Amino acid sequence: MRAPVSVRDMADLNEPQNVSTKYPGPPFETPKVPGPASISDMDPRPDHGEDSYVGHGRLEGRRALITGGDSGIGRAVAIAYAREGADVVLNYLPDEQQDAEDTARYVEQAGRRAHLVPGDLSDESFCTDLVSAAVDFLGGIDLLTFVGGRMPTIDGIEDFETSNWQNVVDVNLSSLFWITKAAKRHFGPGAVITVTSSEQAFQPSPSLVEYAVTKAGISNWARAMAAQLASEGIRVNAVAPGPFYTPLQPASDPKQKLENFGGSGPYGRPGQPAELASTYVYLASQEASYTSGETIAVTGAIPIH
């Protein structure tokens, strides 16, 4: 595994690198875990930018609510937002408390404030309370970033269960409506909503039908909401990751797929959360002021249509 890069070694970090060997590829030793999984369950440990992400003040003074902020992509985004100058509120499941506290420490080490609000996004009343807690702590919300989600693997339609389907829809998709409705009255011009879609929205896997349907809905939600909110100066965009190495995999993927995760792509490896954080920062920043209604795919050269 490539050694962690410290902030003081930025000269080396900025040197051109072979993207296919920058991080480890399969086989992975990470065990299958009855989710939710933790960063500590993963071998090798994912890179969230803890030792490498350097901010440039692009989000100075902004106030961010991030779902799924304990680990994986959400943790990388929280670290990056904080180092760019934003205070953050992190949502996650109660079982993910240890990872969330660790993420909060990185935010505070960046000189920014962090507040932890555990809870289940499938609960509409909790989603409303989450916004209230964020506003109470931050004094408002400028950046609303949705990362948290569920990805069940279901091999055949005969295994389809309505209760599981409803939970996936509520966590991945309904929560966008509930939280945005509650947060909108606190937005001002320049507020930004960023949602997390997936390559599965465009090229769904047979065993991820339920997940893929919600991710396609998320991309459509971003397009429609961008048009609806444009006149108020609010931007809405989506990020569509390819295979990224996060605790979502040991909690969701079968063991064989987990061992070989990301190996079939052009890079021969999955992406690391640290490689995705800058996309969220760009969309949240004023550098993207004319970008709205878009879905940015970050797939490691895996073509999507």
Is there a contact between 150 and 198 (Cβ–Cβ < 8 Å)? no
Inter-CA distances, 126 with 137, 274, 305, Å: 16, 29, 36
Residue 222 included in any domain: yes
On whether residue 152 sits in a domain, the answer given is yes
Q: Could you write out the three-class secondary structure of the chain?
A: CCCCCCHHHHHHHCCCCCCCCCCCCCCCCCCCCCCCCCHHHCCCCCCCCCCCCCCCCCCCCCEEEEECCCCHHHHHHHHHHHHCCCEEEEEECHHHHHHHHHHHHHHHHCCCCEEEEECCCCCHHHHHHHHHHHHHHHCCCCEEECCCCCCCCCCCHHHCCHHHHHHHHHHHHHHHHHHHHHHHCCCCCCCEEEEECCHHHCCCCHHHHHHHHHHHHHHHHHHHHHHHHHHHCCEEEEEEECCECCCHHHHHCCHHHHHCCCCCCCCCCCECHHHCHHHHHHHHCHHHCCCCCCEEEECCCCCCC
Residue 120 in tokens:
């289940």
pLDDT of 10-32, one tens digit each? 446 667 889 999 999 999 988 88
In a domain, 141, yes or no: yes
Banded pLDDT at 265 (limits 50, 70, 90): very high
Query: CA triplet 91, 133, 275: central angle to 5 degrees?
Result: 30
* Distance (Å, whole) CA 107 – CA 99: 13
Is residue 110 very low, low, confident or very high in pLDDT (cuts 50, 70, 90)?
A: very high
- List CB contacts of 17: < 8 A, sequence separation 6 or more: none
109, part of any domain: yes
Task: Choose among 1, 124, 138, 148: nearest CA to 66.
Answer: 148
Q: How far apart are alpha carbons 102 and 294 in whole angstroms? A: 32
First to last CA, the chain: 32
Residue 216 in any domain: the answer is: yes
Residue 184 pLDDT more than 70?
yes
36 lies in some domain: no
Mean pLDDT of the 38-62 span: 95
pLDDT reported for residue 77: 98
Residue 194 belongs to some domain of the structure: yes
Q: State residue 296's pLDDT score.
A: 98
| Confidence (pLDDT) at 125 | 98
The token pair at 149 is 């989600």
> Which range marks the domain in which residue 226 is found?
56-298
- 254 vs 72: CA distance, rounded Å: 19
Give the CB-side neighbour count of residue 289, counting CA atoms within 13 A.
7
User: Residues 62, 81: contact at Cβ < 8 Å?
Assistant: yes
pLDDT at position 5: 36
Q: How much is the pTM? A: 0.94
Work out the mean pLDDT of the chain and round it to a whole number. 93
Domains in the chain, number? 1
CATH of the domain at 88: 3.40.50.720
Comparing 14 with 183, which gets the higher pLDDT? 183
Is 164 part of a structural domain of the chain? yes
User: Which residues form the catalytic set?
Assistant: 211
pLDDT band at 252 (very low <50, low <70, confident <90, very high): confident
